[in-house]
Amino acid sequence: MISIYTWLQHRLEEEYDPVRMLKQSDRGSVQLIRHKASGQRFILRQFTGNPEVYYKLLDYTCPNLPTVFEVASLGSENLVVEEFIAGDTLGFLLEGGLFSPEETKKVVIQVCHALWVLHSIGAVHRDVKPENIILRGDQAVLIDFDAARLHKPENEMDTQILGTTGFAAPEQYGLSQSDIRTDIYSLGVLINVMLTGEHPSKKLAGGKMGRIVDRCTHVNPQHRYKNVLRLMEAL
């Protein structure tokens, strides 16, 4: 009997044309593909790892998250077909200049909406950073759930260290298990980078935004905002 993974592989080869490779690493690749009949573009992710969050997202839609259409796994190998988000990454836009406090608030609140969905299904993104946020017009979309995990209360620490240096919370380095406050930490770094271009340890944003960043990035997760709703209220 043919596996769902092999079936999806064959269907992708027959019904879609590759457009271009967007990202490739030891863990996998991200490719832009086009449906031959409709011309519609999609993202094809092929990666080695844990696909549990992608499977959960099949049942959810949110304007600040890409829609996940199909997921198939064979052992540790995974295929994901998701919505193509046309726009520029926040990382690219930051190369052209910093954001105002109002612009920063607007983007971060929309990222909080995306994280609220993830957190409500028990998932932690674990890699919130400018390169994983696409601005589609004035809409911020959080992408890339390859490092995301479902929180498992019985575990004392993460089974695999994943995340981006500078944006990753201290607990992601094996001190304890990641939870929703891990993403709060990354949001604090994100706010600071958007306002100052620097990590808060090097240059902290001024005024109220600086106080918000300071609380988000506290080493002890218990001293951070309890959830993204509290952070949104503060913003």
* pLDDT, tens only, 137-178: 999 999 999 888 897 655 444 444 445 667 878 777 655 667
CA proximity to 66, closest of 39, 85, 86, 42: 85
- Structural domain for 156, as ranges: 88-234
Phi, psi (deg, nearest 5) at residue 199: -70, 145
Among 88, 127, 183, 214, which one carries the catalytic annotation?
A: 127
Of 33, 62, 83, which residue is a domain's last?
Answer: 83
Asked if 74 and 94 sit in the same domain, the reply is no
What is the identity of the amino acid at 171?
A: E
Strands (E), 68-206: 68-74, 77-83, 88-89, 123-124, 133-136, 139-142, 149-150
Total of domains in the chain: 2
* pLDDT, tens only, 188-199: 999 999 999 999
- b/e per residue 107-125 (b: at least 16 CB within 10 A): bbebbbbbbbbbbeebbbb
**Phi-psi region at 19: left, alpha or beta (left = phi > 0; alpha = psi -120 to 50):** alpha
Of 39, 68, 83, which residue is a domain's last?
Answer: 83
Tell me whether residue 127 is one of the annotated catalytic residues: yes
Phi, psi (deg, nearest 5) at residue 65: -135, 145
Asked if 129 and 213 sit in the same domain, the reply is yes
* pLDDT, tens only, 214-224: 999 999 999 99
Helix (H) or strand (E) holding 210: helix 207-216
pLDDT (0 to 100) of residue 152: 62
Asked if 174 and 68 sit in the same domain, the reply is no
CA proximity to 64, closest of 143, 119, 144: 143
pLDDT (0 to 100) of residue 169: 82
Asked if 198 and 126 sit in the same domain, the reply is yes
Asked if 13 and 69 sit in the same domain, the reply is yes
Find the CATH number of the domain harbouring 11.
3.30.200.20
Asked if 96 and 173 sit in the same domain, the reply is yes
Asked if 152 and 202 sit in the same domain, the reply is yes
Asked if 105 and 188 sit in the same domain, the reply is yes
Asked if 164 and 67 sit in the same domain, the reply is no
**Is 132 exposed, middle or buried (CB count within 10 Å of its CB: 0-12, 13-18, 19+)?**
buried
Of 83, 104, 121, which residue is a domain's last?
Answer: 83
Find the CATH number of the domain harbouring 170.
1.10.510.10
| Statement: residue 1 has pLDDT above 50 | yes
Asked if 63 and 136 sit in the same domain, the reply is no
Phi, psi (deg, nearest 5) at residue 91: -60, -45
